[in-house]
Amino acid sequence: MTFSKEDLQTTKENLMTGVSYMIPFVTVGGIFLAIAYAVGDTQAVFSNTGSLGWFLAQIGIAGLTLMVPVLGAYVAYAIADRPALAPGFILSYLLQQNGVMSAAAKVMGFSGATGTDAPLVAGYLGALIAGLLAGYVARYIKNLDVPESLDSLMPILVVPVATTAILAPVLLLFLGVPIALANQALTGFLQSMGTTQALGLGAIIGLMMAFDMGGPVNKVAYVFSVGLLSSDPMVAQPMAAAMIAGMTPPLGMALSNFLAPQKYPKEMYENAKSATVLGFSFVTEGAIPYAASDPARVIPSLMVGSGVAGAASMAMNVTMPAPHGGIFVVPLSNKPLAFLGALALGTVVTAGMVTLLKPDVDESEETSEE
């Protein structure tokens, strides 16, 4: 089995395909779960069987449970088309089953516990690996020379079954168990972290969210936070940090543009208005026009502002049970005012830093001509 140069160049696109198909599941699941918490008692919503909150929570959990297998399935689909879809989904699904992974851990000689009661699942990282492997193995089998009598059976029988059979022991035992144990330990760490540790994690999430504003690094931080939310709805602090840090870049740039219009071309003033709407809607890409025009000054400012916002959010133990929605889901946070305070702090830091760094437009043009 060989990998061409084109395979390596398209890996990022394959991963982003999986993320794009996953996002609707994240949104539906997270919003319904957040509404369930708002309607019922947060601590008892799952025990009040038959109540409105309980039904809403079931819908939310279904969305957040399916999102990880969908991620792996469509990464595989992006590589090898439909024959890889079922193996990618099934293998990714198995890696999220606590009972299956606990049994696999015992087979490998591990106790299946890391000092925490968090479920033993491989999370989104396991799904990404499952999707990549399923895609490449399925594509290899699909391209084999076979008798004409088997051509019609290849995409619906031979490729899916053979891919699943080959990868199941590899993923469940040799790759899935270490990833699941690491994921379990991380979840337990997040559940027990202190203020200092929370500051560091929040800052890292913030830096990643602002680095490429919707690109691969941003998506890693976002999917990491959503993955923690899906594995344990009570671990919702990283999701709040990610959302606040993702809202900060466009809001910070818009604020700077409004306060110091002389530092931006006149046409950017209209962009500031749309960036405000996008920022409040948790669409980090609203800052891209500013970053593209002056990356050396803008991107560091965005990262510092979002890092401060993420750290402040984690330090204040702000939670967010919804994975998307921006300003519209703030009432679902355990501390709405703290959420808004961290957002305001990050916005002001971003605006202040970029305003200090950027020269006036005329000065910039003169420097460019010189």
* 3-class DSSP assignment, residue 60: helix
The reply to whether 152 and 222 lie within a common domain is no
CA 286 to each of CA 21, 104, 166, 250, 268: distance values in angstroms, whole numbers, following the listed order: 21, 45, 44, 5, 12
The reply to whether 184 and 270 lie within a common domain is no
Query: Residue 188: which domain range?
Result: 5-192
The reply to whether 361 and 308 lie within a common domain is yes
Q: Which of 164, 192, 220 is the last residue of a domain?
A: 192
The reply to whether 214 and 174 lie within a common domain is no
Q: Is the model's pLDDT at 212 over the cut of 70? A: yes
Amino acid identity, residue 116? Answer: T
The reply to whether 187 and 212 lie within a common domain is no
Place of tokens 């996008």: 278
Q: What is the mean pLDDT of residues 152-178?
A: 93
Q: Is the model's pLDDT at 365 over the cut of 50? A: no
Q: Quick one: pLDDT at residue 230?
A: 66
Q: Is the model's pLDDT at 257 over the cut of 70? A: yes
* Burial of residue 65 (number of CB atoms within 10 Å: 0-12, 13-18, 19+): middle
Q: Is the model's pLDDT at 342 over the cut of 50? A: yes
Q: Quick one: pLDDT at residue 232?
A: 62
Residue 202 lies in a domain: no
Q: Is the model's pLDDT at 370 over the cut of 50? A: no
For 107-118, the pLDDT digits (tens) are: 988 865 555 566
Residue 201 lies in a domain: no
The reply to whether 132 and 187 lie within a common domain is yes
The reply to whether 135 and 181 lie within a common domain is yes
Nearest alpha-carbon partner for 20 in 282, 255, 223? 223
Residue 236 lies in a domain: yes
Rounded distance between C-alpha atoms, residue 359 and residue 39, angstroms: 50
Q: Quick one: pLDDT at residue 337?
A: 96
Helices (H), the chain: 5-39, 52-80, 85-94, 98-107, 123-142, 148-151, 159-169, 176-192, 195-211, 216-231, 237-259, 268-280, 288-293, 295-315, 336-357, 361-369
The reply to whether 21 and 112 lie within a common domain is yes
Chain centroid to CA 135: 21
For the chain, report the end-to-end CA distance as a whole number of angstroms. Answer: 55
Q: Is the model's pLDDT at 165 over the cut of 90? A: yes
Are 315 and 349 in contact by the 8 Å Cβ rule? The answer is no
Residue 344: pLDDT band (50, 70, 90) is: very high
User: Domain total for the chain?
Assistant: 2
User: Among 19-28, 190-199, 288-297, whose mean pLDDT is lowest?
Assistant: 190-199
The reply to whether 161 and 223 lie within a common domain is no
Mean pLDDT, the chain, whole residue set: 84
Rounded distance between C-alpha atoms, residue 255 and residue 282, angstroms: 16
Rounded distance between C-alpha atoms, residue 57 and residue 35, angstroms: 8
Are 167 and 136 in contact by the 8 Å Cβ rule? The answer is no
- Report residue 4 as tokens: 């061409």
The reply to whether 304 and 352 lie within a common domain is yes
For 28-45, the pLDDT digits (tens) are: 877 787 778 777 665 567
Q: Quick one: pLDDT at residue 191?
A: 59
Nearest alpha-carbon partner for 103 in 184, 173, 178? 173
Q: Quick one: pLDDT at residue 137?
A: 96
Q: Which of 140, 162, 192 is the last residue of a domain?
A: 192
Contacts of 82 (CB under 8 A, 6+ apart): 155
Confirm whether pTM is higher than 0.75: no
Q: Is the model's pLDDT at 368 over the cut of 50? A: no
Radius of gyration of the CA atoms of the chain, in A: 23
Q: Which of 161, 192, 223 is the last residue of a domain?
A: 192
Residue 175 lies in a domain: yes
Place of tokens 């605006």: 351
Contacts of 323 (CB under 8 A, 6+ apart): 26, 27, 29, 30, 225, 226, 229, 239, 243
Q: Quick one: pLDDT at residue 217?
A: 75
The reply to whether 148 and 236 lie within a common domain is no
For 306-331, the pLDDT digits (tens) are: 999 999 999 999 998 887 788 888 98
The reply to whether 150 and 274 lie within a common domain is no
